[in-house]
Amino acid sequence: MPLQEKHRILITGANSYFGRRLYKEFSDKGHHLVGTFAHNNADNLNLRKLDVTKQEQLFDLITKIKPQIIVHNAANPGFIWNENNPIEAKLLNETAPIMIADIARKFNIKLIFISACLTDNPTDRYAIAKKNAEEYIRRLDGLIYNIIRPNRMIGCSPNTTSPRYFNNILRMLYGKDVFQFDNVASFQPTYIRHPIEVMLMLIDNNMYGNTIYVAVPEQKTEYEIARDILNHFNVKVGTKPVLAGQNSNPTLTGDLRPLNDLGLPEYTYPQILDATIKEIKQT
């Protein structure tokens, strides 16, 4: 089997919950990485501080390190933050990826944009911003890109302090906190390693021009996932009270066919549950 080419890759948001796992997996494959952070740097990573909403900072860093590929992961998906800070949210989640796309095209750099699930039917500021950025990227003549759409993730990350859903499960497991989980809204969860495997295969095979939803086919609630993980460790889970008028319908199902059409990795819910439990035991 021929050796896979190693690339110079810029990863924005490399200190986030997903970004830390992404950085580790890409580094383990031997790629030459530069990662960025906005506010909190990881002590054991040589990351660059970068405000992705500042065009001059983006231009200076990209022209200095000359990456072959940019993986743009920096974002803030928090619902309350997006609703309370509409100007800053639009800058970070929509304008920043557009600026990065323009620079990538100018210097013939390949772009992998980490978007969000179900941007075809956005209902909040974050999803709308991601949809607008996606549409701009797809329209940009000459840009070599892939768009990756993960859903809410489960799986271990070196960043265990980020206030993400899975980290709350870990805090319950280790007795650091008590949470109640929603048992009304269902969604197709994403195993944290799944989009990374997809990206690595796309890079290795030089496959671009795709928009790929990365999740499992099964619909689950936050409570069901937390229960299925924590029951394995004999930890009991509670459910949040149902609010009046709360919608119990499942979210729209993402189109998983491109995974199969392109020969990319696919997972089922039992598979990602097993993989996650194994990761927890190994930490």
Residues 14-35: what's their mean pLDDT?
95
Q: Does residue 158 register a pLDDT over 80? A: yes
For strands 32-37 and 238-239, give the pairing: unpaired
Nearest Cα residue to 252 out of 74, 98, 137, 119: 119
The pTM (predicted TM-score) of the whole model is: 0.93
Distances (CA, A) of 46 to 20, 140, 282: 12, 32, 25
Superfamily of chain region 8-282: NAD(P)-binding Rossmann-like Domain (3.40.50.720)
If one compares 268 and 42, the residue with the highest pLDDT of the two is 268
CA-to-CA distance for 185 and 183, rounded, in angstroms?
6
In this model, does residue 252 exceed pLDDT 90? no
Q: Residue type for 35, please?
A: G
Residue 1 pLDDT exceeds 50: no
Per residue in 58-94, pLDDT (tens digit) is 999 999 999 999 999 999 998 899 999 999 999 999 9
Q: What are the structural domain ranges in the chain?
A: 8-282
Q: Where do we find the tokens 């009304």?
A: 184
| C-alpha span between 145 and 102 (Å, rounded) | 12
pLDDT recorded at residue 2? 46
